[in-house]
Chains A and B, each alone.
Chain A
Amino acid sequence: MAKLTLPAQELMFSGHSACPGCGAALAMRLLLKGLGPRTVVSVPACCWTVIATPYPTTALGVAMMDNPIEATGASISGIRAALDAMGEKDVTVVGFAGDGGTADIGIQALSGMLERRTNALYVMYDNEAYMNTGVQRSGETPLGAWTTTTPVEGHEHGKIEAKKDMMAIVLAHHPVYAATLNPSFPEDFERKVEKAKAMSGPRFFDIFAPCSTGWRFDAQKTIAIGRLATDTGVFPLYEVENGRYHVTRKVGSLKPVEEYLHAQGRFRHLTPANIAAVGAQVRDGWEKLLTFESESLVAPTPSAAPTAPPATRA
């Protein structure tokens, strides 16, 4: 057998009830490969509530706690506190929440968890809308996208607001590590998982999770769409470690954003002017990211300042 470029262990079971080609299911599979069996995952109301299948079955080979949609940050603080109180060591505590449960209704609990330096990894799997309830817009739905609550009819043309920059919000809390991950780049994905696992303190992942049902593309295209997202600059891959930026997939010249947009039904209605606006926004974000990277490598960053908070606390 050719050498596997990813850990062989499988801690997400077959038989789960994700849609065919689900990006969020692949994200969980790759995440647990790297984290291993001594992991406790707290999952709010989201697609994964259902993917994990009804009682009495479970789709995870690790411990999984359900929690209400807005409370994942608090739940992982509670899990860590219990493990500390009971002397359980070498356990990775993970919150695995959708974008709505993170960026909208769950942002308070996430902020609280980051601020109190909970020793846990918070994952936002980002399928850019409320998919479990049937594709309603979230704060993470991108500019121009169709959802059932940002319709394309009459005088409406999809979402008119931009996507909320969760990485920036999280970074304002000075986590020990924050990164963007994309299952279309599994080796980069796994490297970040292993890096985060070895650390202690609050950590954050924004995982790109293409959704064929909600984004309107054929299920076999999940990986291809994800690859385009990064190579057009829509979803750049980078990590921030103690304030220092590192772009982990350098794209020499970005592919035209049209290639990404035209591949999905949710952007089908966009006019050339709309596409130009999205393209300008993407280029702007990419250039800023490269600036952050070059600047953070020369100057001390806020979190490296003497007032830096302790790395971790329950």
Chain B
Amino acid sequence: MTVMVLSGNSAQAHAVRLARVQVVSAYPITPQTSIVEKIADLVATGALKAEYVQVESEHSALQVVVSASGMGARTYTATSSHGLLLMHELVHWASGARDPIVMGVVNRAVGPPWNIGADHTDSMSQRDTGWIQFYAESNQEVIDTVLMAFRLAEHPDVRLPVMVMEDAFYLSHTLEPVDVPDQAVVDGFLPPREAHATLHPGTSARLGSFTGPDRYVDFRFEVAKAMERVPATLRLVEEEYKKATGRSHGGAVPTYRVDDADAVLITMGTSTTTARTVVDDLRAQGKKVGLAKLRLFRPFPNEEIRALGAMVDRIGVADRSYTFGPMGAAGTEVSAALYPSSHHPAVTGFYAGIGGRDVTPHVVRRMYESLLSGAVPEVHWEDIEEEVSVDG
């Protein structure tokens, strides 16, 4: 184990090196670019023995790794914002073909207007593509999650692709100390890929195929069942990672001081760190507040959210992207997960940090105060001049 001062993007690249990825393909886009540059360096120096295919678009980047994965190789790509949107067709394809690709996504706003700030609109727009989706809070979590992602993706019970999200600039370009596991430790945790349902030269087989209405649903159902097995498999993978490195990140929904809380805020990505300090401040003032982090967004952690809902009366959900539904994407999912429960906490959706705006302690404190006061609309835009409410 070595402690290095790394950016989130470097953490992704080091994870790719340690995972002994065999084929990488990517196309540059701000703020993902330093991942592909770093990987190019690692390949050039021989630190990573991978085929690095430089392509003319993100669409081709994902196609390269889809096809390479279909041949049995361990593969990685990374993108951001418009790049991810251009990939969209292949994002669906990868899960349908059961390709265990790992993709780093640097969450960035979508234009127009052009904006390179942190925003989850890009990956939220891919939430129903059959990919497992993690949102990371720190660079440590980035490197650890990418390594766990390969185990999870390639697990015979799963065989689905994984996205590991990091907030633009708040992680991608932020340097902080990261424990980088030794190669031998990673090799013990992550053996070479055992290829299931891949193509082999010299063998008659077709990967992809087509079906009529009679069979198509069977393939979708297989993906659905694999997705349902993710939570249990993640627990197993995280336990093994802990055994190997001594670290884990608390499963799908790690919580903080929620036990006797009157109100809990649910966050994703980097705003979680800021919120944790606000919880400590408010607790010091005697306010009973707690925090939960949606680390895993797909499959949605229904069980964990229901367990949380059984403990509190007020839940706020901070979304870093706008969706044109009843509330933000995470807020809507949390509400839907809670609906079948006997205990129904009040859920408020907040929009905070859209397009790279800072989610400051002040903004977080206001969200908690709204929740504690009990008099909040269903949906709340934080930190803008004119508050907008949407009728439910």
Contact = CB atoms under 8 A, between A and B. Distances in A.
User: Does a CB–CB distance below 8 Å link A and B in the complex?
Assistant: yes
Contacts of B203: 62-63
B201 A63 contact: yes
A83 B201 CA distance: 9
B55 interface: yes
B187 interface: no
B53 A81 contact: yes
Interface in A281-299: none
B85 to A, nearest CB: 15
A54 B212 CA distance: 8
Contacts of B75: 82
Contacts of A309: none
B66 interface: yes
Contacts of B72: 82, 86
Contacts of A314: 51, 53
B56 A78 contact: no
Contacts of B50: 85
A108 B57 CA distance: 9
Contacts of B231: none
A239 interface: no
Contacts of A134: none
Chain A facing B: main interface SS: mixed
Contact of B207 (A66, A76, A111): A66
Contacts of B200: 63
5 contacts: A64-B205, A65-B207, A71-B63, A82-B75, A116-B55
A85 B208 contact: no
A49 B63 CA distance: 17
A184 interface: no
Contacts of A38: 201-202
The 7 A-B pairs with the shortest beta carbon distances in the complex, nearest first, are A66-B208, A78-B67, A74-B60, A112-B56, A82-B71, A78-B64, A74-B63
A79 interface: yes
Interface in A99-120: 108-109, 111-112, 115-116
B64 A77 contact: yes
A64 B207 contact: yes
B60 A71 contact: yes
Interface centre among B59, B200, B204, B206 (most CB of A within 10 A): B206
Interface string B85-100: 0000110010000000
Interface centre among B57, B61, B201, B211 (most CB of A within 10 A): B201
A40 interface: yes
Nearest to B21: A85
A77 B211 CA distance: 27
A64 B206 contact: yes
Given A81-B53, A116-B55, A55 B211 contact: yes
A85 B23 contact: yes
A54 B210 contact: yes
Nearest to B211: A55
A76 B53 CA distance: 11
Contacts of B215: 54-55
A38 to B, nearest CB: 5
Contacts of A112: 55-57, 60
Contacts of B206: 52, 58, 60, 63-66
A70 interface: yes
A82 B22 contact: yes
